[in-house]
A = this chain, B = another copy of it.
Amino acid sequence: MSFLGPKGTFTHEVASKLSDNLISFCTIPAVLESVSTGECDKGIVPIENSIEGSVTQTLDLFAHKYNLKILNEVVLPINHNLIVNKGVKLEEITDIYSHSQALGQCQNFINQNNIQPHFAISTANAVKSIVGMENAAAIGNKKAAELYDMDILIDNIQDVSNNETRFVVVSNHDHVPTGNDKTSIAFSIFEDSPGALYKILGIFYEANINLAKIESRPSKKGLGNYIFFIDLVGHRLDENIKNILGRIEDNTSFFKVLGSYPIFQR
């Protein structure tokens, strides 16, 4: 299984629970490419965080570039730690390094302590980059602190509780029905058709299908032009869902099933 690395990222933490045979890639496109070419049979990438929102690169690649399927979803509670070189105290820290999402999730802490934030390509890279720096800290997970023999000065420095990230395992096929499934779809509505989204949502509503998620992303064709991502409860092979998806396809200018997979059990 390929994962969004390097070692010590949150994705690594999830991936290591799923497989013993892990290959690290540095970017989300590289993970998806490794599955698309068959180099890896599965890959895992983040898709959504409860505070920062969608991982837009993942959604855009699913919609525009790859024909991969979602095989599974995994939800991980995110605890951000203030990681420093051994012996460094809070008042000595002038600069803090992390992935942009992690910095965004700890904005109050950063502002209150008047520390200059710096972007890193991942939380693990951030921890690696401050090895030996006395006035710097990184935001990352326990695994990264252990990996580079650093101290966790303060744990849970994120602004709000309910901080969770949803990851998806992608493959060239999706999951067989289990009786408790979700289906992810992406579609664009016809332009200049007032109420087009309203009518699509009506198809779900009248069929009594619950929507677990609705998000929009620019279609990249100009302002006001969107691709919608919907997660609905049910499997694409269920008879009623199959009919509904056919009707949605007939009423959209672009339509893609991203996969059916078991709902994650906490």
Pairwise interchain contact B75-A223, C-beta atoms closer than 8 A: yes
Stretch in A51-59, A135-143, A250-258 with 4+ CB within 8 Å of B = A51-59
Residues of B within 8 A of A220 (CB): 50-51, 160, 162
How far apart are the CA atoms of A50 and B213 in the complex, in Å? 22
Residues of B within 8 A of A210 (CB): 194
How far apart are the CA atoms of A222 and B225 in the complex, in Å? 27
Residues of B within 8 A of A160 (CB): 220
| A119-B100, A218-B51 given; A164·B204 CB < 8 A | no
Q: How far is the CB of A253 from chain B (nearest CB, A)?
A: 16
| A56-B52, A100-B119, A201-B201 given; A216·B218 CB < 8 A | no
Pairwise interchain contact A214-B198, C-beta atoms closer than 8 A: no
Q: How far is the CB of A117 from chain B (nearest CB, A)?
A: 9
Pairwise interchain contact B194-A50, C-beta atoms closer than 8 A: no
Residues of B within 8 A of A119 (CB): 100, 119
Residues of B within 8 A of A226 (CB): 214-215
Report which of B51, B205, B215, B218 forms a contact with A194, defined as CB distance below 8 A.
Answer: B205
Q: How far is the CB of A229 from chain B (nearest CB, A)?
A: 10
Pairwise interchain contact B214-A216, C-beta atoms closer than 8 A: yes
Say yes or no for A133: interface residue by CB 8 A criterion: no
Pairwise interchain contact A197-B214, C-beta atoms closer than 8 A: yes
How far apart are the CA atoms of A202 and B51 in the complex, in Å? 28
How far apart are the CA atoms of A159 and B184 in the complex, in Å? 27
Q: How far is the CB of A228 from chain B (nearest CB, A)?
A: 9
| A119-B100, A204-B198 given; A224·B218 CB < 8 A | no
Q: How far is the CB of A205 from chain B (nearest CB, A)?
A: 4
How far apart are the CA atoms of A52 and B35 in the complex, in Å? 25
Q: How far is the CB of A50 from chain B (nearest CB, A)?
A: 5
Residues of B within 8 A of A225 (CB): 50
Residue of B nearest to A217 (CB): B53
Q: How far is the CB of A207 from chain B (nearest CB, A)?
A: 11
Given contacts A48-B223, A50-B223, A198-B201, 10 further A-B contacts (CB under 8 A): A50-B221, A51-B220, A53-B56, A57-B104, A75-B223, A162-B222, A166-B223, A195-B201, A213-B224, A214-B216
5 contacts between A and B (CB under 8 A): A53-B218, A119-B119, A195-B201, A195-B205, A198-B205
9 tightest A-B CB contacts, nearest first: A119-B119, A198-B201, A195-B205, A162-B222, A50-B223, A198-B205, A53-B218, A51-B220, A215-B216
